[in-house]
A and B are shown apart, each in its own frame.
Chain A
């Protein structure tokens, strides 16, 4: 059962709250009624008078037509071809911690494989007692678990290493999603095959044209990896690996192999293309870090942000954002509105789950003056999200991957927000 942070207002706190609100009303300026009546009230809207469509008009429901701009978006110049490319989750248009399935960012290396589940097989081979093959029907007979995890691409914010580049948290931070997975613990499937003593690594492989493959140490495989078949209660979307994907909690998204068809047990890593040529972190001295699996603590203010400016002028203003860590939970996020001179603790809201997104809010009265907004995550190990300059000092500017530096939005007097870097 999920226990939410915060608590329902008691009668007593309701009364004290009301008293405080009463005091505030005297000082605040409530907008006076306009001279002309609001047409949204005095004119009869069609939906108030006529019947709408009946049930089954949309057997699989879709969002309101007024939400048509809440979509994944692509940055065409980033890649050579949409078939091997990425698009971005519209973080600025979401709230809470769960990403709707249709808005989870996509990253493919050979397009979306349209796998027929009746023809899908999962093979375990290599250093095992029995090399096995499972059908989807076989897999559904294993015990399952439910977990909410973030999946972040190691290249999220990768375009920002050399400086502020893209205007929108969708583009700077949108290679992430957070859903509830239903899946089989990988340790159960490996136990079924029987791991030989020398088996210290696994290689996972996808059924798509790219045959995506990655090496994973056995310790992680036996710890919390899942072979998932549902996301947020329904079947995985094709673009998320239908009918099966690997879940590697807290580790870089590239390892969460989609359309997974094979697990090989071995005694050393494979050094696949995606763990040598890609997903290694080049340092300033020409050396490169390899096997940088964990996604460190990170946060971003999603509102306001360049795609979601403040439109209401001075007065009560809600700042909100998300934070996550591959090492655990996020007990605290700090927010600054003056570019880091003064910080305040944000209010955490909603479930605080291991290796999941967390939602934070910071409410304040905006005086209409320019703002420099930042958020800073603390994770359950005591790690504090670094600034971009702190990261550059250690790594240089050519890392591409694992940029978890603090993001700055500059908000002007009109409420427009821009991606900037500050001293």
Chain B
């Protein structure tokens, strides 16, 4: 017997041994008759606090209602900065409306109207996960109103429509019938369980597509400092270049006049309302809103790379500057002070909160 066959035989017997199930100790954790008696019974109000989920048959819907017009206002204030005024989606944020008839296209647009099977999913998701960064803050009537508005944006109801726990299950989404259960066991597994070819499987091979043509791999895919002389050039030729894009903005030096620590701490707490959309401090970058380093004294609409609303583009052209007074006016009622701003934040009514948040911004971002 040749050496090769001897080795092949050894490999085979080991495989058989493993197949016999001796590979891993797995004595199951024991059940105990009558249970372990651990934990405690949940109080009804504890279950009620968390048990907010809603099913397609309406189980779990709270009592309440909301109409399209109310929903439009709530959506504009809380959702439009990411999803767009008409659910069209800003940047890469999810598109919520439109797309009907696109599911067989090369680039399907999957929205509530074109794709989602059940309206209960909209209510359940908005109620548990939205608004992004301040979830579980909406009242049931507000969630009904937003859901009604999303139906309106998808041309599924008229502008006079009111959605409530009473009529909820009457609304059906158009794509419900197009979902099928996982059918891989019949459509794929038989095909993909055929004997695999090992030799002469095809006459020739050609490359039909190169990833480097698209060139969408992040610049930092490999180490900047690769050891091994030959490899550096190779790696760079295919994947790496010195990182240039998305450099975080360095934080300016702290200002000389320091605010009281208590005021700064209070401002940090206030800033929680802002930080879903704004960053400040070292490494701050633009998100839904522009980064806020050096805000006080900065020209309005001046952060590079941020797509401002027209009102700020105009203010920038006019050389308007963010003074403490201007910030007070703006933050008290943003949409009144700068009509047309994309910033949907309702405002800080208490001037002391504005002083605190400005002190915080200056303490970390200059």
Binding site for B on A (CB under 8 A): 1-3, 5-7, 16, 20, 66, 68-69, 73-81, 83-84, 109-110, 123-126, 130-135, 138-139, 141-145, 147, 163-168, 170-171, 184-185, 187-188, 191-192, 194, 203, 205, 209-211, 213, 261-262, 264, 266, 268, 270-273, 276-277, 280, 282, 284-294, 296, 306-307, 309, 311, 313, 329, 331, 334, 338-344, 351-354, 372, 376, 378, 381-386, 390, 394, 397-398, 410, 414-423
Contacting pair A68 B208 (CB below 8 A): no
Q: Which residues of B contact A75 (CB under 8 A)?
A: 216-218
Considering the chains assembled together, what is the distance between the CA atoms of A141 and B118 in angstroms?
A: 41
Contacting pair A416 B237 (CB below 8 A): yes
Considering the chains assembled together, what is the distance between the CA atoms of A268 and B56 in angstroms?
A: 10
Contacting pair B129 A271 (CB below 8 A): no
Considering the chains assembled together, what is the distance between the CA atoms of A378 and B192 in angstroms?
A: 10
Partner of A203, one of B36, B53, B92, B216: B53
Q: Which residue of B lies closest to A226 (CB)?
A: B29
Considering the chains assembled together, what is the distance between the CA atoms of A344 and B198 in angstroms?
A: 7
Considering the chains assembled together, what is the distance between the CA atoms of A84 and B276 in angstroms?
A: 12
Question: Residues 96-129 of chain B: 1 if any A CB is under 8 Å from the residue's CB, otherwise 0?
Answer: 0000000110101010100111101100110011
The range of chain B's interface size is 35 or more
Closest 5 A/B residue pairs (Cβ)? A69-B223, A339-B205, A143-B29, A419-B211, A211-B128
Contacting pair A382 B193 (CB below 8 A): yes
28 A-B pairs with CB atoms under 8 Å apart are A1-B24, A2-B24, A110-B135, A124-B42, A138-B39, A142-B38, A144-B29, A167-B221, A167-B239, A184-B29, A192-B38, A194-B35, A205-B53, A261-B50, A270-B54, A277-B115, A277-B121, A280-B179, A282-B103, A282-B110, A282-B115, A288-B115, A306-B217, A353-B23, A372-B207, A381-B189, A422-B206, A423-B206
Partner of A80, one of B17, B91, B198: B91
Contacting pair A341 B29 (CB below 8 A): no
Inter-chain contact total with CB atoms closer than 8 Å: 339
| Known A134-B39, A296-B192, A394-B188; 20 more pairs at CB < 8 Å | A3-B23, A5-B14, A69-B223, A77-B216, A80-B82, A141-B36, A171-B218, A210-B128, A211-B136, A270-B54, A277-B125, A289-B180, A306-B217, A311-B228, A329-B18, A343-B199, A351-B23, A398-B103, A418-B238, A423-B207
Shortest distance from the beta carbon of B274 to any chain A beta carbon, whole Å: 14
Contacting pair A288 B180 (CB below 8 A): yes
Partner of A123, one of B46, B193, B235: B46
Contacting pair B55 A163 (CB below 8 A): no
